[in-house]
Amino acid sequence: MSLLIEIFKTSVGKKFYMAISGLLLLGFLVFHLSGNSTLIFGHETFAAFVDFLAGTGPLIYFAELILALIFLSHIFLGIILTLSNWKARNVKYSVSNSRGGQTFASKTMPYTGFILLLFLIIHLLDYTITKYMSGWDGWQLAMHVSDSFKNFARLSFYIFAVIVLGVHISHGFWSLFQSIGVTHTQYTKMLQKLAKVLGVLFAIGFATIPFIAVTLAK
């Protein structure tokens, strides 16, 4: 345990944890998207999936707790790293010119991260917390999902947020391998391309969910 804390103290160690938590969050996104995709088969399938998860009892609470811890560590590390990076460049250049290393995604990682944090809070309030507070079952949640996306403001922010998520992943996915030392002159280039593809896939995947939900409600 003390070793894990010791690693955390260094820049490379913090990036290591950032990468591992990012990878785990990506795993969660795969699960989340697969789960939500059950909407394609109708409200019943989605409701059955939600009820199945709720039926696992302590298991789902434990999984949610672990997930919350992963999210919190990713957010916490992101804040610490960004602040120390700002501190390291204490005086800004009056003229700043990229030589082509940076990408839009890499430059905006802290900002896309912050937008995603806001989205996460709103998203949890909209669905997870509302479901718990109202004591809804799967069917009621399925109805709520379909209803909620009829609100144009919510739908717009959701679409914006999943595009931001795609941008975040398009840098984060390859960057995490570099941070954990899985790097190679050739394979890293492939990972950079794969990251962009994954970013687009996640954005499109999540963006289709509200349209399916709204179509089902008609």
Binding residues for another protein, rule: CB under 8 A, are 3, 6-7, 9-16, 81, 84-85, 87-103, 106-107, 109, 171, 174-175, 177-185, 188
Is-contact 216 43, C-beta < 8 A? yes
Select 57 or 100, whichever has its Cβ closest to another protein: 100
Using DSSP, state whether 42 is helix, strand or coil: coil
Residue 196 neighbours by CB under 8 Å, 6+ apart: 170
Select 174 or 206, whichever has its Cβ closest to another protein: 174
Q: How far apart are CA 6 and CA 13, in angstroms?
A: 8
Select 103 or 130, whichever has its Cβ closest to another protein: 103
Question: Within 10 A of 112 (CB to CB), how many other CB atoms are there?
Answer: 23
Q: How far apart are CA 19 and CA 180, in angstroms?
A: 7
Select 38 or 112, whichever has its Cβ closest to another protein: 112
Q: How far is the CB of 122 from another protein (least distance, A)?
A: 26
What residue type is assigned to position 179 of the chain? S
